[in-house]
Structure 1
Amino acid sequence: MTDDEPSTAALVRAVAAELGLQPEDTRSHTGDFAGGQIRFAGQAAEREPSDYLLRWTPGQGWELAAEAGESVLRIVAGLPGTQPPEAVADFVLTSLSERGERPVRRSDEDVPEPAQRPW
């Protein structure tokens, strides 16, 4: 897979689809930082949803990060390299299952985003 925009965007959207999320939950970027991300929440029956970010960086792989406070992310799991979307989804589902959660869309995803968003 190359690092061009269509390939990065397609990979990230395919992983989101495997997780039952929407294309609107994804972002991709080229240039100095080529990669992509998927924002979602982890739902557990007895707790408020946790916010997660799944990031992909070419040459490095996937990182699952949990929001640990305002503008702070804590890496909770990693998957090296470029993997098929099904393998990435299994990685995320297993990681969330170990935390007693399952992926769901964030409740704020239908709110329009600002024109530029910091990574």
Structure 2
Amino acid sequence: MWKIKNRSCVLLLLLALCFLPALCGSSVQAEAMYQISEGELNQLQSNLTELKADNENKQDLLTEQQKQLQIVNEQLEKSRALNEETQTSLAEANRSLTELEKEAQHKIQVKTRQRNLWISIAAICAVAAIAK
């Protein structure tokens, strides 16, 4: 008896749960209906066609600009590489020029010493010749 009463309570509870959404109200609403004239429909279709064509044109333009941007980026990378090579070459040329200047300065100093030595030798010879 207790089992039968228990089962009927459970069945009654399940049945109540099934009807609960109907009692609370449904959250689903019907879509609003609008009526438009044929002229308005044609105008909307014409607008849609025009917008589609405009969209395609803009997509084509975007694709072209992306290609141009890619080309410009590649040229920029080439220019950067060339600039780096030029900077390296310029640094090497500056090092070579500095080294050449040092060598030229050293040669000038050697020539000056040799000239002064020969002047001294000539003066000593002149003094010796005069003293005789």
Question: TM-score, length-normalised on structure 2?
Answer: 0.14
Specify which structure has the higher proportion of strand: 1
User: Which structure carries more helix by proportion?
Assistant: 2
TM-score computed with the length of structure 1 as normaliser: 0.15
- Which has the higher Rg, Structure 1 or Structure 2? 2
